[in-house]
Structure 1
Amino acid sequence: MLDLMSGFVVELRNAGLPVSLTENLDAMEAVKHIPIEDRDAFKYALATTLVKNEQHWKAFETVFEVYFSLRGPEYNVLDEDGEIDEDSLEEWMSQQMRGMGGQGSSEDMSPEEIAEMLFRALMNADEAMMAAMARAAVTQFAGMEPGRPVGGTYYLYRTLRNLDLDGMLDRLMEQAQERSEEDMTSLQERLEREEFENRIEDLKKEIEAEIRRRLVADRGVEAMAKTLRKPLPEDVDFMHASREEMANIRKAIQPLTRKLAARLARKRKHKRRGPLDFRATVRQSLSYGGVPAEPRFRNPRPNKPE
């Protein structure tokens, strides 16, 4: 555990987060007072002691998901021969397929059967079934091979392309219309669509987490952390920044712009001279041939108290 925490802190520093020795010791002390088996409590205890800026949260979360990905017998990815171990997944899929009247094997499942099970999970907001279906979809569609030097984005693209989540959203909306006793209003329809879109986003996150977990098991923690490392907003070269990075930069500098605007307004309020008097400046410039060499300003007028 100590070696894992040390590597975690080193990777945070490599990612650009300013983690001091004192904060490292505080994090080690904080984890003594929480249940280690509670992953969320463990995550936020580390974040409380190691993250000091909101802009650093995403980098922290990425490193945490790599170093403390779910592990254990039920999350094994590779067996002794280096192949994907799907025994527990196979048992679950067999039960689901028997309930649907299928053949009871995940390897024999067609894309239509996977889509049907995924539709049921999204329609009923079954988080456990969605997590299991994410594992099944990655197994069926990602085409992951141990030792293959391919990034996780490629596997994610292959999986989502085969799932056709846009068509799934339309199907969910049609089912919601059929379940409704009366015709849904535009507001109800929008709320239903937003709810289904949120569930689909959760499914995408589950698939991405599953791909990342398998890559960590295959390549190791340090290699995956280095691959997923991204520069912080203050370290991005804005000449080559992507749209997402530019949005993060704007969000990061927004407090600075407000502070500068308030400072300029305060400076204008307390300065000795008022705004430029254009008419007086033009009259004064006639003696210089029309060149405004000496600008004139109005006398400041303090605001009247309310």
Structure 2
Amino acid sequence: MDDRIVEFVRGMRAAGVRVSMAESADAMRAVEVLGIVDKDLFRLSLRTTLIKESDDFAVFEELFPLYFGSDGPPLQNALEDMSEDDQEMLQAALQALSGRLQSLMDWLTSGEGPTKEELEQLAERAGIQWANNPQEARWVTRRMLQQMGLAHLEDQLRELMERLAEMGMSQEAIEKLMGVVEANREALAEQVAQSVGRQIAEQRANRPDDLFGSDLMHKPFESLTQDEANLLRKEVQRLVTQLRSRAALRRKRGKEGRFDSKGTIRANQRYGGVPMELKFKRKKLKPSLVLICDISRSMLSVAEFMLRLTYELQDQVAKTRSFGFYGDMEEISLTLAGNRAAEAVDGVMEAFYGRSPQHYATDLGRSLATLYDNWLDSINNRTTVVILGDGRNNYNDPRLDLIKDIRQRARRLIWLNPEAPRQWGTGDSNMLEYAPLCDQVYMVRNLAQLSSAVDKLMAGA
């Protein structure tokens, strides 16, 4: 059972639920004390120890029966209550119906459904390797049932009933047989759904633990179709789980600190200089951030994903202030706080595009001046300033003087740009002038690059 719980925790993490090692250990202890005989008590003990946020209850309830439920209701053997004569007639009728539905008819009458290996083969042919969520699981389940022949089952059963009647089986026996077959059809469909759900959960849990999963992660934001963008929105939660884990590991290592020779000498003066107590410099690893995000139409796709990552990783930041700009600067910190990710991003977009006039020219210089007039106190020597933008300013004053001053005030200045360096300086781009004033510039053309940049930002901020 311990191994099954470990697999369940992996499945939860792969679905985007944060579960720490301590919480996993709490779950093990709870199960050891309360046992597994009472299934409801067992489920509640896991839910209480593993789930911290109400939004994660749905994931828990989806995965629990896949890992700890049965493989679905058992099929009934239609032959058990039949007389020997009726059994012989049924066997003869089934042989006469032999064809591509023979396996299905055998499963529905014998009480022995498909094996685990047969279900896995059917699932692979149905495309389960591409499925990643409950909606896609239902699609794979339908495909598998179609492969089994359930769409043509009614015609086959009608022919079977006619043959049995011709052979002399009583109407009562035929109706009882059809009742068992109907019950078995429902049970088989549930078995297939359970199998598909479990396989998808295991696939998610066994994916490589990196930040660059699928090829879609490397596709440029501006080239994504709507369906592809929706898939990546779901992928953000998995990325956030991995980024949190990496940040937690860095903090754990950082608690040890570096040896502080001066502090050790001072602390051991009372021992005559003998180093009885060692002192360490501990690094504060949670960064303080100021995000300045270009919300212009040319930046919408990358801005949306950056805002989603920013929202989800707020608990990994000591303090954050967020600003958006187009024609001018506005603070969006309150909009990003207290909502769900999708609602927060929609709120930001509504703030910039939900009012008239809706046509602006990007003006970073003017926006920086507004930042200086209203929110300069948000930047100090403990702040990492992150600018997300393409450096295009519609030939307005780039206000390099303000960028220089921000660099002097802040701990670090990081620029995230979706354009390749060969595009810098072309047209209205001021990026060749901005870049030398930054501590680091990262290209973020796709979600893989963006998540990598955010990871480095969390590590060095």
Whether these two folds match at TM > 0.5 is no
Which TM class, normalised by the smaller chain length?
A: 0.3 to 0.5
Larger Rg, first or second structure (1 or 2): 2
- TM-score normalised by L of structure 1: 0.38
- TM-score normalised by L of structure 2: 0.27
Which is helix-richer, 1 or 2? 1
Which is strand-richer, 1 or 2? 2
Higher relative contact order (CA 8 A, sep 6+): 1
